[in-house]
Amino acid sequence: MWLGTQSVNELGHLTIGGCDAVQLAEQFGTPLYVLDEAAFRERCRAYREAFQSRKPDTQIAYAGKALLNLAVCQIIAEEGLALDVASGGELYTALRAGYPPEQIHMHGVYKTEAELRQALDARIGTIVLDNFDEIARLQSLLAPHETVRVMIRVAPEVEASTHPLIRTGQRDSKFGFHLMNGDAERATAQVLTEPRFQLKGFHCHIGSQISELDAFAEATRAMVAFAETIRQRYGYAAPVLNLGGGLAVRYTPDDAPPSVGALAEVMVQTLRAECARYGYPEPALVVEPGRSLIAEAGITLYRVGAVKHVPHERRDIPQTYLIVDGGVSDNPRPQMYGACYTALNASRAHPHLPRQPYRILGKHCETDPIIEWAELPETRVGDVIAVLTTGAYAYSMSSNYNRYPRPAMVLVREGQARLIVQRETLEAVIQHDLPAR
Ligand code: LLP
């Protein structure tokens, strides 16, 4: 499963962005996150092309929670993408990167007063309102004649088939104003009567790592139906509809997510058909993918520190364990969601070598399998292992568990590697500690 610019060189090493992965591991140390700039940019362009060729007034907003740092902000700005931030920290990162604030919209189920203040002071594009308490909080922060552009997040009550922890638009979701209980309508009515709010439209996001396009169509139908109800009752037509992110990516060769073109086709056609049905003026569209823009552009390199033969009775895991120098602190997804990944032996990447099964585990003080069953050529201590598709929700969810410093990240392109996130130092790990006395 080669992704992006991945290939193998004459030494039999994995290459990415024209760089030898084994050399990267030597030069920058391991664990190491590697981001394939061409692959990332290619996905940004594929999204713009897929949507804007069908509907020119579509805005692609990158969901920064997938992975945000100064370099990523610069790239998305260059690619003409807008940005979705979900916290004061993400907003701060974007502003420090010089990312244009008017292109930013802010999400969050609990934006604190400080975060709302930060958004207002930076004059970001839009605040996406999530609940009644937040409406009141934002009103209390606005000066008498200060205005702010807002959208209303609606829980469309669509059950997307994905891991329950990353489903967000269903009946029991904590996110947004629900449709059935009338909250979405009440919130709209309230927002429309506040002269300091400029309502841009409605937003929904049904979840993440979703492969069934029907769920996106269903959400689109629910949103247009809701918008039509509001138009009939309040005479307000939404100029913008934001249908969220959530498209699945390839973690293993068994994954076959729909193409961006197929997603665009379903969303745009459903939106058009539903608007035509009600005679609703077609709103501009926003989509906000995170994972499907950046996940496949990222890999993590680890070094094998021990090979253990563990005789056991289980059939579902191999008896040879590879212990690598990372794990749950740089990628909690296998433990949190039972997420499956694909690994390559970057030191012996030739596709025709005979393979045997390995269980790849991290070095933390608990059982933290990274991959339960990996088929690799004979692997030895010192080999470099590459875990694919770690561009999204790995670094962004990393921790200092066991007081490990967070790994570095390099951006690779055409044979050049550039350090974009420094490896944390041990001193940085303790920098906020204070002595007891
Ligand atoms: N918009 C909103 C409002 C969201 O909450 C999210 C993701 C996105 C867009 C982007 O979704 P994407 O295109 O990346 O699927 N930590 C989990 C994923 C959590 C997703 C949270 N929201 C994981 O590692 O799978």
Q: End-to-end CA distance of the chain, in Å?
A: 55
Is residue 362 situated within a structural domain?
yes
Does residue 292 have its Cβ closer than 6 Å to ligand 1? yes
Return the pLDDT at 26: 98
Please report the pLDDT score of residue 298 as a whole number.
98
pLDDT for position 165: 78
Nearest residue by C-alpha to atom 16 in ligand 1: 393
Nearest CA among 378, 294, 257, 362 for reference residue 67 = 294
Q: Which of 19, 275, 340, 365 is catalytic?
A: 365
Spatial contact of 328 and 419, defined as CB atoms under 8 Å apart: no
Residue 167 lies in a domain: yes
Q: Is 278 among the domain residues?
A: yes
Angle ∠(386,389,391) on CA atoms, nearest 5:
105
- Whether 99 and 207 map to the same domain: the answer is yes
Whether residue 239 sits in one domain with residue 94: yes
Q: How far is the CA of 233 from the centre of ligand 1 (A)?
A: 33
Q: Is 275 noted as a catalytic residue in this protein?
A: no
CA pair distance 111, 86, nearest whole angstrom: 8
Instruction: Specify whether 122 is located in the same domain as 182.
Output: yes
Say what the pLDDT of residue 167 is.
74
Q: Is residue 238 part of a domain?
A: yes
Ligand 1 pocket residue status of 246, Cβ below 6 Å? yes
Residue type, 328: V
Residue 50 lies in a domain: yes
Instruction: Note whether 30 and 49 are within 8 A (CB).
Output: no
pLDDT in tens, the chain (437 residues): 899 999 999 999 999 999 999 999 999 999 999 999 999 999 999 999 999 999 999 999 999 999 999 999 999 999 999 999 999 999 999 999 999 999 999 999 999 999 999 999 999 999 999 999 999 999 999 999 999 999 999 999 888 777 777 777 777 889 999 999 999 999 999 999 999 999 999 999 999 999 999 999 999 999 999 999 999 999 999 999 999 999 999 999 999 999 999 999 999 999 999 999 999 999 999 999 999 999 999 999 999 999 999 999 999 999 999 999 999 999 999 999 999 999 999 999 999 999 999 999 999 999 999 999 999 999 999 999 999 999 999 999 999 999 999 999 999 999 999 999 999 999 999 999 999 99
Of the three residues 227, 261, 294, the one that is the final residue of a domain is 294
- What 3 state SS string does 1-31 have? CCCCCCEECCCCCEEECCEEHHHHHHHHCCC
Domain match, 330 and 382 both: yes
Q: Is the CB of 291 under 6 A from ligand 1?
A: yes
Answer with the one of 242, 259, 294 that is the final residue of a domain.
294
User: How many distinct structural domains can be found in the chain?
Assistant: 2
User: Has residue 435 been placed in a domain?
Assistant: no
Question: What tokens does 189 get?
Answer: 């009515």
What pLDDT does 1 receive?
86
- Of 263, 278, 294, the residue that ends a domain is 294
Beta bridge pairs of residue 403: none
Nearest CA to 116 among 158, 150, 155, 67? Answer: 150
Q: Please indicate, yes or no, whether residues 235 and 143 belong to a single structural domain of this protein.
A: yes
CATH number of the domain encompassing residue 102:
3.20.20.10
Are 135 and 202 part of one and the same domain? yes
Whether residues 265 and 338 share a domain: the answer is: no
Whether 251 is in the pocket of ligand 1, judged by its Cβ within 6 Å, is: no
Rounded distance from Cα 208 to ligand 1 centre (Å): 5
Ligand 1: does its nearest atom lie under 6 Å from the Cβ of 393? yes
CATH number for position 415: 2.40.37.10
Please tell me whether residues 92 and 133 are part of one structural domain.
Answer: yes
206: in domain: yes
pLDDT at 88: 98
Contacts of 232 (CB under 8 A, 6+ apart): none
Global pTM value: 0.97
Question: Cis before residue 31, ω within 30 degrees of 0?
Answer: yes
> Using an 8 Å Cβ cutoff, are 188 and 151 in contact?
no
Q: For ligand 1, atom 3, name the residue with the nearest CA.
A: 205
Question: Same domain, yes or no, for 210 and 357?
Answer: no
Residue 210 is classified by DSSP as B
279 plus 390 within the same structural domain: no
Write the DSSP symbol of residue 248. Answer: -
Q: Within a domain: residue 434? A: no
Residues 141 and 57 in one domain: yes
Please report the pLDDT score of residue 154 as a whole number. 97
For 416, the domain range is 7-36+295-429
Separation CA 392–CA 331 (nearest Å): 10
Pair 299, 377 in one domain: yes
Q: Determine the pLDDT at residue 388.
A: 98
Residues 6 or more apart whose Cβ sits within 8 Å of residue 325: 30, 31, 302, 303, 305, 363
